[in-house]
Structure 1
Amino acid sequence: MGLRVLFGVALILALSRLLYMPTCRGYTYGPDVFAINSLYITLDFPPLPGWGAFGGDPCGEGWQGVECVDSSITAIVINGANLGGQLGNELSYFSSLMTLDLSNNHISGSIPGSLPVTLRRFFLSDNQFTGSIPDSLSNLTLLSDMSLNNNLLSAELPDAFQALTGLISLDISHNNLSDQLPPSMKSLSSLTTLHIQNNRIFGTLDVLQDLPLQDLNVENNLFSGSIPPKLLNVPNFKKNGNLFDANVIPPAIAPPTESPFPHSPNFAVAPVPFSEAPTQSGGQFSRHSKISTAELVGYTCMMIVILVIGIATVKLCISKCKTREPKDGATCKWLEASRIGQLEDPQFIRSHKEGVLGKPIRRSEDNSNGQWNVSLPMPPVTRSDTEKLDIISEKSLRTRTETSTPNSAKCFHVATLQQYTNSFSEDNLIQDGRFGRLYLAELPRGKMLAVLKLENRDSNPSEDNFLKIVERISRVRHPNIVDLVGYSDGYGQRLLVYNYFNCTTLYEVLHSDDSIKKKLSWKARIKIAIGAAKALEYLHDDCPPLVHQRFDSGNILINDDLEVRVSECGLASLLSSFPATQLSGMEPALFSYDAPEVSESGSYSVQSDVYSFGIVMLELLTGRKSFDSSLPWGEQHLVRWASSQLYDMNTLTKMVDPSVGEQFAVKSISRFADIISRCIQEVPEFRPPMSEVVQDLASVI
């Protein structure tokens, strides 16, 4: 590698300033680009698709093995790719790297001491690394899994495990490590798997005796002395090829009186006399024949229980199948109406059967977005027909059980919704969003509805799951939340029907039309914030706790009177099943509202909703987008740019959206900023509940 690598690193350092200049329009965070460019050079320019030495956009361009959240690289996974070269010393520039997996390659050199402190999973097994494990390991306080096995590492283990209390699995086997186990390994309070076999480590195993180990392999080392009694209870303990005291049998070692089967607490094995305790033979422990018999009896009993449960389950499934109502090719309203004998008009019955049930559904696939456009071949449906269907449905819904149908949601016939939306025409399209297309529906008496068509074929929930979602959403009733009034699940489609409020979102008002934006006075912005905050407060406190998960300015609908309705409440479970290809085409700003813990673990909570609300408040304050790739990289992420400026009055007043003008009180701005700073705290527990946010916003006015 030699001069070429040194030359490449020098070039990248010289050009690093260019990565942060405003002219760079890449989506990926600048330091991450620098770090991966440097890694590409030190790995000796491997032929990896997308990778390059100078600039580029790893997150936006989909570099091989690179995973991102927002604009930050969170994982690099390249196994068995015949990589050579070394790792270099620029890995610490990665800002959010959680997984680094370069196993089964030919990378050599030493493990760098400058590693990203955000690492959780660190895998370098089956390479050619030499030297020692760096002392800087102590800085990786988030580390949960590390594998450095099958390398050429030598020297002693560093005494650097004090802060690694979250480490679960450690594999450093098949190296040339020597000396004793360091005292700091006592601090590995979460360690369940430890593989250190095939090294030259000596001394005792005392530092391991209080750890929650389930899988321990110390074979083929130089350990001596007696084995701590607690370690003999480790379920998977391998110790051959050491110098342990052969004649030392720990006192009172007997099989546990509880069941040896973790999931069968009702089975027990009687205590065995000490004379029948496990004996040592050739470094291995073997149970007495009586114990083997007990285990055999236990396994037999367990198999009988499983068989009985299986038979009962099959019978239950058969019973359910016999009582389940058929749904193939028919909608809920037709089934209900026909069952209770309310379709008495022969002409209506004939037209409905011939026009809807008697002909197949035509499906045309739009290759551009992977969605299905479904057209139902049916004769013209009159207003009287649809009204009759609705009357039938309202009567028949009373006969449904509480467990199968949402109490307050109306089941619409798909033909009714097709009539109201002009056959789901483009003229009635309100929005093409992340959950599907939203259409305007006009009812006979002038009432307006909004019909959400869950069109993505890979994310359509099953019928049972869909009804559970409807049940959950139908219970959400609040003046600041869009009301769900009904649904339809006929013909394999999933439709949600809402009361129409307005199609204008806060995002559009703030970022699309300057003339509308100028109408948002400071007082109006506070009013909008209070309305949205009350909606989240209700979701979190006043109903069975419901986390919005995708709260952003695009979910806040406002009308000319500045009334607020929050949309998409209770739909986040649908989004979790979207394929990666569907998500990749979405606006990056959609994910820039996520709290830090969401980016790390993918789990949402009421605290993560509070964080997202804080970013919406920042948008109201500054008029900027949560993420704007057209700005210099240091200003692209709104929360990163604004968080350090919220405490200084001079910079704070300069941050206020110019559209507001001078019509605001400095004290009001200061209180507003104080609420923001508490909502966007890095630690979830430090963020206030939404009930407190609502109270504080009321004092801002």
Structure 2
Amino acid sequence: MGLIYAVLMLVSLHSVVASDYQGDALFALKTSLNASPSQLSDWTQNQVSPCTWSNVNCDSNYVISVTLSSMGFSGTLSPKIGILKRLSTLSLQGNGITGGIPEEFGNLSSLTSLKLENNHLTGQIPSTLGNLKKLQVLILSQNNLNGSIPESIMGLSKLNRLQLDSNDLSGEVPEKLFQVPTYNFTGNHLNCGVNFSHVCESGNDTTEVSNRPKLGITFGIVGSVIGLLLLGGLLFLVWKIRHKGWRREVFFNVSGEDDRQIAFGQLKKFAWRELLLATDNFSEENVLGQGGFGKVYKGVLADNTMIAVKRLTDYESPGGEAAFLREVEMISVAVHRNLLRLIGFCTTLSERLLVYPFMQNLSVAYHLRELKLGEPVLDWRTRMKVALGTARGLEYLHEHCNPKIIHRDVKAANVLLDEDFEAVVGDFGLAKLVDVRKTHVTTQVRGTMGYIAPEYLSTGKSSERTDVFGYGIMLLELVTGQRAIDFSRLEDDVLLLDHVKKLEREKQLDVIVDGNLNRNYDSQEVKMMIQIALLCTQSPDDRPLMSEVLRMLEGEGLTERWEEWQQVEVTRRQENERLQRRFDHFGEDSIYNQIAIELSGGR
């Protein structure tokens, strides 16, 4: 199992190396934007793949989304971005970016959304943007762009939103652009012709003009009357609801793409300004952490309630908006002592935020590896408590929710600790609702290297068994205090799983256990936790359910399962040794053939 996983890791890393040019392009963008040391700190040149960087989304190791809105950049746009052929979303609005829009942006052949509004861009709109045949959204509002609108823009047949307002553009607006469903040309020196002169009038504060049929004054008056009647009916309905004591709120999907409603029960819908004040304008000093969809900020409400605010910075990129709705829906129905409770949410035209209670003891990973000088070490009793609490939370998601919920990123960093050091499973941003009638769901692989189950990495099929694998790795973190992948172990085993397996076979218990515990632990409990971890990380069909894991942690059924696993491991090692002897005579040059043969055999 370890060999196959290692090979899959190597194959994955090889594909990442093949796309290393993407990292160079993004790092060039970071440099040209004059990012401060605290901004995009994980965008480093010595990291192989940019797919793990903040504000970047990938699909099959190709960058498909970069969202850097409202981050205070003051530099320029790098032309090197033009080599990202798979990029579909580029959002840089709300900064102080200067200079022009590079001609090379016209090479982004997969781009569907380009948002550069509210910056200080100058120069003309490049005619090369007419090459972006998949472009649906183009927003260049509130800049200092001049010149005329390129005729090439008329060739963008899929364009459904065009906003060029509040610039210094001049000349005629091609009549074909008025066929775009949503457009805005106000605040320029443009000539919109006789039929659309009102659209270009300077000082018009309309944010956007939609292409809808004009039915005339008569219908407008009738519509107003109907509107008043509807408003009266709505007010009456609200009055009736309040007097009947019905407090359940229903909010509509703000994306406007469908008519689905989401019921949130007692969740609070926060005002944007309320969260802005609570987080001190989303100060970098209040950042608790960041993940694939945005940063988490510490905040204090007006009533002195401590909160954690998850600000989704790429909700409009593939998966971003869906991630917001998914997380709100799932957490609102998944209520358990060992699951992070959602307090409320906030939606605006440009923001999506989730509000949680603040966990004053932060994450398990923090206590294992990031403690500051003088802070107490996570003792063994608490580590056992974390193992049990996390197992209970995952069992609830897998076996008591309908449809069941798969977390897909179980690790120590996503397990928080409340004031009593009780484990609370958080970060459902990567979770997936699964119909109970299905055994798996095929999706884009999400998660963190080292915690991703081999079958998920190779096939993209996740199930509750993939969570069990991640849980097993988390148990090894609790025992060792080490990371799932550590390249400082290059001469030994990079993967924590292989490292522990080797030491377990050699019966080196004292080497396995976290040295920070200073031998203050129960040897039998350590042995039990390691055995359960190894059972959780075996082949998918042989992994226990979380309910079985709970029983084993409580002392029931572990001995039998462990004996079965040891027999399987002995057989596997013997088979690997036989294959090694069989192909040794080919020499080092045939290593890839050997790997291919082993992968083609039975798992």
TM-score between the two structures when normalised by the length of structure 1:
0.41
1 or 2 for the larger relative contact order (CA 8 Å, sep ≥6)?
2
